[in-house]
Structure 1
Amino acid sequence: MVKSRADARIRHPRHERRGEARLPAAVATLIAIALYVALPQQLLVAPRYVLPVLELLLLVPLIAINPKRLTRQTKTFRVLSLALVLLIAGGNLTALGILVHELVHAEVKDGPSLLVAALQVWLTNIIVFGLAYWELDRGGPVARTQSSRSELPLADFRFSQDENDDAVEEVADGASKACDWVPTLVDYLYISVTNSTAFSPTDTMPLSTRAKILMSIESVAALVTSLLVIARAVSILH
Structure 2
Amino acid sequence: MGVVVATLALQLALPGEVAVRPWWLLPSLSALLVGALLLVNPGKMDHFSAVERVISLLVVAAVTLLNAGSAGQLVYGIATGTLTAAAGAVLISGGIVYWTNVVAFSLWYWEFDRGGPGRRALGHHVFPDLQFPQMADPDLADQDWEPSYLDYLYFSFTNAAAFSPTDVLPLRIWAKMTMMLQAAISLVLALMVVAWAINNLK
Fold-level similarity (TM above 0.5):
yes
Aligned length: 201
State the percentage of identical aligned residues: 35
Question: Distance between the aligned counterparts of 1:160 and 1:222, measured in 2?
Answer: 24
SS at match of 1:42: coil
The one of 223, 226, 229 aligned to 2:187: 223
Q: Does 1:159 align with 2:135?
A: no
Partner of 1:34: 9
The one of 13, 34, 37 aligned to 1:59: 34
Question: Distance between the aligned counterparts of 1:158 and 1:179, measured in 2?
Answer: 14
Matches within 5 A, 1:65-214: 65-109=40-84, 110-145=86-121, 147-148=122-123, 151-152=124-125, 154-165=127-138, 172=139, 174=141, 178-214=142-178
Structure with the greater alpha carbon radius of gyration:
1
The structural deviation recorded for 1:72 is 3.8
Higher relative contact order (CA 8 A, sep 6+): 1
SS at match of 1:135: helix
* 1:155-191 residue CA offsets vs partner (Å, 9 max, x unmatched): 22011111103xxxxxx151xxx52111111110111
* 1:103-135 residue CA offsets vs partner (Å, 9 max, x unmatched): 111344521110000000011111111111111
The structural deviation recorded for 1:200 is 0.7
CA contact (8 A) 1:65 1:72 kept: no
Unaligned runs of 5+ in 2: none
Question: Distance between the aligned counterparts of 2:53 and 2:28, measured in 1?
Answer: 20
Question: Distance between the aligned counterparts of 1:81 and 1:195, measured in 2?
Answer: 23
CA contact (8 A) 1:111 1:234 kept: no
Question: Distance between the aligned counterparts of 2:39 and 2:158, measured in 1?
Answer: 32
TM-score (norm 2): 0.93
RMSD in angstroms over aligned alpha carbons?
1.6
Deviates more, 1:113-122 or 1:74-83: 74-83
* 1:37-57 residue CA offsets vs partner (Å, 9 max, x unmatched): 221112233211100111111
Unaligned runs of 5+ in 1: 1-25, 166-171
The structural deviation recorded for 1:33 is 0.7
TM-score (norm 1): 0.79
CA contact (8 A) 1:138 1:154 kept: yes
* 1:76-113 residue CA offsets vs partner (Å, 9 max, x unmatched): 21111011101111211221111111011134452111
SS at match of 1:41: coil
Question: Distance between the aligned counterparts of 1:115 and 1:202, measured in 2?
Answer: 27
